[in-house]
Chains A and B, each alone.
Chain A
Amino acid sequence: MNKREFTSALRDRLRKERVSREEIEDALTYYSEAIDDRMEDGMSEEDAVAALGEIEQAVASVCADRPVVRKAISRVCVSRTAIAVAIVLLVLGAIAWIPLVLALGVLAVAVYLAIWALIASLWLADASLVLMGIVGVPFLVHATTSGAALSGVLQMGCAFVMGGLGVLLVPVMSLATGCLIRASLAFARWVGHFFMKVPASGRAASESCVHSWGMARGTWRGFVVVGGVIIGVGLAAVAVAWVSSGFDLGSLPKVPPMHTPLGDVRFDGLALLS
């Protein structure tokens, strides 16, 4: 067999296997290069072709790592009778496979959404902590104008501890988000690998998930310092209120609800402490 015969036979076989035109061209380039190189090395054309082995091995080398679904399709598509049988089976079996495929699709989407919902709820919880800290300041002003300054200091202290905790948790959130996003991508990739070739994500991705905090070292240190300071101020405020109340926080007067355009804000730091 000479080079031209080999390449045209390989092309025919790969077409029968429903290999894409692009992949066929890539394989033909590779195998003709191998023949040319052997001939340059002193082999005759026939010997160079023979050295490549059976044509079926070359076919297998191209089809080896095709995705599961496409492999199955190409296996079915080799003969017209097989196609006809497959169509009949698909139509007859529609009652079973349509709900099954739908269910699997919905399941895949649900897992994907669940991962993102988890990310969103983590951040919402964290944001509400920070919001609590921010509300502490106007509440102190409100308590002072209502004549219950010490209660306001106590409430603001509690609010700051919560808010500081929220700031402190941001790097942890960011790390968790990074891991979850990677998990969702890995899942999407896993679903995808049945249908198309997906590059391996590599071990590096999962390692970086553990070793980096998802943000620069300086940034997450900043969050820790700021969060720590806010918590410190909050604890100091609680301590001031505690000492000034004669070590009995229960004796502090209640602060009336604060009226805001969004509704009334009640703040009961004592409930948090007791």
Chain B
Amino acid sequence: MDAQLKRGLLDAYVLAAVSRESSYGYRIVHDAPPALELTESTLYPILRRLARDGLLLETKQEHNGRLRKYFSLTDRGRDELERFVGDIDEVEEILTFVRGRATR
């Protein structure tokens, strides 16, 4: 997928991935739709930025004798996710137009 197109979707994916229950780095990468081609290296700056902006909350929990960092959604993060979902209809409208013009 085009890198620029993907960039906007990555934030939304990460917010959605931790929205039902808290999650951790590897699981977020593992659960990602293959089209996103999400790797640990792509995820790391996104997690840090979203946490810094107050959209994600970081907590450390013990797992198998080591500490694992879990991420969950803050109220602001939930607002942001809802805003994105609200935008989907408009995006679909644009996509329908583009597809209609592009296919003859």
- A61 surroundings in chain B (CB, below 8 A): 40-42, 44-45
A12 within 8 A of B: no
Number of A interface residues in the complex (CB < 8 A): 26
B20 within 8 A of A: no
- A37 surroundings in chain B (CB, below 8 A): 24-27, 68
CA distance A91 to B16 in the complex (A): 52
Rounded to whole Å, the gap between the CB of B4 and the closest CB of chain A is: 16
CA distance A197 to B45 in the complex (A): 12
Q: A30-B69, A34-B26, A53-B41 are known contacts. Are A65 and B48 too (CB-CB below 8 A)?
A: yes
B52 within 8 A of A: yes
Q: Indicate if the CB atoms of B45 and A53 lie closer than 8 Å.
A: no
Chain B 26-50 interface 0/1 with A at a Cβ cutoff of 8 Å (1 = within): 1101100000000111101100110
Select one of B40, B53, B68 contacting A52, CB under 8 A. Answer: B40
B66 within 8 A of A: yes
Rounded to whole Å, the gap between the CB of A51 and the closest CB of chain B is: 8
Rounded to whole Å, the gap between the CB of B84 and the closest CB of chain A is: 13
- B40 surroundings in chain A (CB, below 8 A): 30-31, 34, 52-53, 58, 61
Q: Indicate if the CB atoms of A53 and B69 lie closer than 8 Å.
A: no
B68, closest chain A residue (CB): A33
- A200 surroundings in chain B (CB, below 8 A): 53
Q: Indicate if the CB atoms of B53 and A40 lie closer than 8 Å.
A: no
- B64 surroundings in chain A (CB, below 8 A): 40
Q: A29-B69, A33-B68, A34-B25 are known contacts. Are A202 and B53 too (CB-CB below 8 A)?
A: yes
Rounded to whole Å, the gap between the CB of A89 and the closest CB of chain B is: 31
Q: Indicate if the CB atoms of A199 and B52 lie closer than 8 Å.
A: yes
B76 within 8 A of A: yes
A56, closest chain B residue (CB): B41
- A62 surroundings in chain B (CB, below 8 A): 44-45
Q: Indicate if the CB atoms of B45 and A38 lie closer than 8 Å.
A: no
Rounded to whole Å, the gap between the CB of A196 and the closest CB of chain B is: 11
Rounded to whole Å, the gap between the CB of A56 and the closest CB of chain B is: 9
Q: Residues of A at under 8 Å CB distance from B?
A: 26-27, 29-31, 33-34, 36-38, 40-41, 52-53, 57-58, 60-62, 64-65, 197, 199-200, 202, 204
What are 30 A-B contacts with C-beta separation under 8 Å?
Answer: A26-B48, A27-B44, A29-B67, A29-B69, A30-B25, A30-B44, A30-B69, A33-B24, A33-B25, A33-B68, A33-B69, A34-B25, A34-B26, A34-B29, A34-B40, A37-B25, A37-B68, A52-B39, A53-B39, A58-B40, A58-B41, A60-B41, A61-B45, A62-B44, A64-B45, A65-B48, A197-B52, A199-B53, A200-B53, A202-B54
